[in-house]
Structure 1
Amino acid sequence: MLNFFRKHSGNLKDDVLSGLTVALALVPEAIAFAFVAGVSPIVGLYTAFFIGLITSIFGGRPGMISGATGAIAVVVVGLVAIHGVEYLFPTVILCGLIQMAAGVGKLGQLIRMVPHPVMLGFVNGLAIVIFMAQFGSFKTINDAGSLIFMEGPALYLMLGLAGLTMLIIWLLPKITRAVPASLAAILVVTGLSIGINQFAPESWAAENQDAPLLTVGDMLETNTVAKATADAWADMGADADPAMVDEVVAAATAEGTGIQAGLPKLFFLDDQYEVFPPFTWATLWIILPFALTMAGVGLIESLMTLSLIDEITETRGRGNRECVGQGLANVVCGLFGGMGGCAMIGQSLINVNSGGRGRASGITAAVCLLLFVLVLAPWIEMIPMAALVGVMFMVVIGTFEWASLKMFKKVPAGDLLVMVVVAAYTVLMHDLATAVIIGVIISALKFAWQHATHLGAEEMINEQGGKIYQLHGPLFFASVSSFKDLFNPREDPEDVVIDFYFTRVYDQSGLEAINSLAEKYTNLGKRLHLTHLSPECRELLSKAGDLVEVNLSEDPQYHVATDRLG
């Protein structure tokens, strides 16, 4: 289904227009993730700007969009709740430094080790998570300050306009590609929404809080009131007076619930924050676990997104450069009071679907987002959530690998298990990074189990009466037992040759097994000759001295992948 995205070729016009489309979708996402993290909505918007801009310039994957994400928000919410937002910013800076160190250390190339079944499970699980996340847009707030699902005409109207958005995105490319379909759909549905909200019957408007169709501004107000209400009840207890709770909520929302901000400031120069934590070892031990978790989760999600965009665009990003770019973005983001972020898979797919292929698309998205915050906030608040939901539903359709549903009877059971486990963990726990790690571990164990018994040997007698064991299969920790069972030192002749031409020693366990076998032959007064050994193995076995013969003239030259494209 990823072919859905491959129909576009990149150019500057497409990059700019797709960047504008992405910026419109970034606003509610950044605000929503800020609420998850327990920080001000403007912190999420600043984060999306800094992370998006810097990674677009210095990152390793043109066309990929980064910003404030739910994965990072889930990590930092505990830190903010326990120690306060003042501890967040040094944590984000430390996270960025760790990510930059990972890039300099060439760890970005480890993404090549992710097996295809893990990628399929990741993609399918991600599509389901994105789909389920849209349900929150169908909620409104009741008189008690709680979020409830829409009902009646408001729900039908929301679904209808979301369906219209999807129809435009599907149909418009068949007519013209002059304008990204997602942007055109958002503009058309926004126009309809304004008309509906303005000319709706008075009875309907009264039942739906003067706005029968929810907009970005309504979503911001709904989340603000719901959070203020929940915090008030938590602080005052279950026996609190509802009137007092209402007073607290009114005070929390007195300054307005819309997008209100100026230019970002360095966090230590911002008067709204209290005294910052001292630069001591105690502070470091508090923020280090959070910083390490943020760095790991951010890099895994970013590198997995990079691989996905590589597959979609049939190009290749640079993982190590992306690590450095993400780290630099988080350092700057932390300095300016941001919550930290990483690659945004949904927005990246919107960008690719809209024709964004170059760095200009991400730069445009970040700059437009800042302009929305500073200048055009009232207009952005008029965008209906139905339009953004429709765009994300099309992302879900394009992301899900529908062909994988036909693989259940065609792929090995082990690969199928990996796909299902990764997808299920992603959906149930909403933890993409851990899901990928679990998938890689299961795949590695499956590989080790399958190849543990694949080691064998052909036995031959040479002209001098010596015995030759020509090995076939990998020698590593799981196959050591099979390797030892191949030999009978007591019954073998005086001269024994082990030929490694068709095998390779992969780890320390294999090397130690060879050395142990050599010692057995030595103790019996027999000569063991090893040929076609790799340089690493020759170095380890050098202590065997004259009893181990390595035929250098017959040894092949082994080549490994370089870091040039990392």
Structure 2
Amino acid sequence: MIKHIRTQWLNNAWANVLAGIVVALALVPEVIAFSVIAGVDPMVGLYASFVIAVTIAFTGGRPAMISAAAGAIALLVYPLVKNYGVDYLLAATLLMGVIQIILGLLKVGHLMKYIPNTVMIGFVDALAILIFHSQLQHIFGHSWQTYVFTGVTIVIVHFLPKVFTKIPAPLIAVVLLTTISIVTSAPVRTVGDLGEITRALPHFLIPHVPFTVETLMIILPYSISMAVVGLVESLLTARIVDETLQSDSDKNKEARGQGIANILSGLFGGIGGCAMIGQSVMNLKSGGTSRLSSLTAGLFLMFMIIVLGDFLVQIPMAILAGIMVVVAFSTFEFKTFRLMRTAPTVDTAVIVVTVVLVLLTHNLAVGVIVGSVLNVILKRKI
């Protein structure tokens, strides 16, 4: 028991705390943007991220993985929020969690072994492209100072770790460049420009919806979609983290843990969520290897909202965009191009289809599922 706690919680504790802080800083603009996509108040996404990140640190099957309110879920629920309101979203989130727990008990995690490496390659590359593309709006079309802050951030995050590793480079970039921005009153877009942040803790609530079969029929299709998409992204992220840390994880426990986290998110006024691949990669590259980094990310996120709100809203988006650009480039597998020149036509086709579908739908789960099915069909014909 003591060895288990030391390995999953206390191993290299300081590095994990710092990594969690870096992730929390990056989560804020992402989560606010996802909230806007879903058609809800930014605090709905922020509360969800706090609850999910803290809960999954204890219930998840993969240490060092970051879970929070996610864009894939936000895209799915917009019609529900538009037509029925936020309370129906919270009810759908609760049902989403229940479905994920059931899928975990049914050992759905075992299905991960059937996803071929070609699909994983396409999945990771498409993810990197999506991360990069999502940051362009924060870089281009603004003041020349925005380009300067972005460029300096990229230089710091990319080159500083080569000579100094005591403190994560992204954290240094955020603190240093935000201070410069405040002192010089630089005309740049900040986190506060994305949405209003309320300094208040989440509170327990029961969704105000009729507990009827009609309500169930309304939310069930959304809940099933949220549960499946959330699990696909979470389990794929777990596989990527497994490979990076060269250790295995309990995918079925992760599925159950995601379900528990989403139920609690719905009960505390939050949207559904799942593992976030970009933030998980950032966590790893910042030194996060244990559950402590996930817990720190959630706790520091709420600490920033309640205590550091004035500083938080003044962080230039250019800095956070610069950090994510580096994450995108480090995530992309540039060896894919060399592989596609020598690999069988079937493998190349699967990679391309996976990438294209993800980019067209902005839904990682669609690309993975179709890519896996295509892989089976094409290889059976050979």
- Same structural fold, with TM-score higher than 0.5 when normalized by the shorter chain: yes
Specify which of 295, 309, 317 is matched with residue 227 of structure 2: 295
Q: Tell me how far apart the structure 1 counterparts of residues 114 and 24 of structure 2 sit (CA, whole Å).
A: 33
C-alpha displacement of 1:10: 5.8
Q: Whose radius of gyration is greater, 1 or 2? A: 1
2:59 and 2:254 in contact (8 A); partners too: yes
- Could you say which residue in structure 1 is the equivalent of 2:381? 449
Superposition map of 1:54-133 within 5 A = 54-133=55-134
Q: Which has the higher helix share?
A: 2
Specify which of 198, 201, 218 is matched with residue 193 of structure 2: 218
1:166 and 1:391 in contact (8 A); partners too: yes
2:139 and 2:321 in contact (8 A); partners too: no
Q: Which structure carries more relative contact order (alpha carbon 8 Å, separation 6+)?
A: 2
Q: Tell me how far apart the structure 2 counterparts of residues 333 and 388 of structure 1 sit (CA, whole Å).
A: 26
- Could you say which residue in structure 1 is the equivalent of 2:198? 260
Q: Secondary structure at the match of 2:341?
A: coil
Specify which of 377, 387, 399 is matched with residue 319 of structure 2: 387
- Could you say which residue in structure 1 is the equivalent of 2:5? none
TM-score (norm 2): 0.95
2:32 and 2:194 in contact (8 A); partners too: no
Q: Tell me how far apart the structure 2 counterparts of residues 33 and 136 of structure 1 sit (CA, whole Å).
A: 14
**Letter of the 1:304 counterpart:** L
C-alpha displacement of 1:161: 1.4
- Could you say which residue in structure 2 is the equivalent of 1:170? 158
- Could you say which residue in structure 2 is the equivalent of 1:190? 178
1:277 counterpart = 2:209: yes
Please tell me the root mean square deviation across aligned C-alpha atoms, in Å.
Answer: 1.4
C-alpha displacement of 1:312: 1.5
2:139 and 2:150 in contact (8 A); partners too: no
**Letter of the 2:219 counterpart:** I
**Letter of the 2:169 counterpart:** A
1:42 and 1:261 in contact (8 A); partners too: no
C-alpha displacement of 1:163: 1.5
1:61 and 1:317 in contact (8 A); partners too: yes
**Letter of the 1:87 counterpart:** Y
Identity of aligned residues (%): 43
Cα distance change, pair 10–446 in 1 and its aligned pair in 2 (3 A): farther
Q: Which has the higher strand share?
A: 1
2:61 and 2:249 in contact (8 A); partners too: yes
5+ residue gaps in structure 2? 1-9
1:42 and 1:260 in contact (8 A); partners too: yes
Q: Tell me how far apart the structure 2 counterparts of residues 91 and 306 of structure 1 sit (CA, whole Å).
A: 24
Superposition map of 1:42-61 within 5 A = 42-61=43-62
**Letter of the 1:194 counterpart:** I
Q: Tell me how far apart the structure 2 counterparts of residues 10 and 167 of structure 1 sit (CA, whole Å).
A: 30
1:22 counterpart = 2:23: yes
C-alpha displacement of 1:447: 2.1
TM-score (norm 1): 0.65
Q: Tell me how far apart the structure 1 counterparts of residues 180 and 360 of structure 2 sit (CA, whole Å).
A: 36
**Letter of the 2:81 counterpart:** V
C-alpha displacement of 1:113: 0.8
C-alpha displacement of 1:136: 2.4
Give aligned pairs, total: 373
C-alpha displacement of 1:408: 2.3
Q: Tell me how far apart the structure 1 counterparts of residues 184 and 125 of structure 2 sit (CA, whole Å).
A: 36
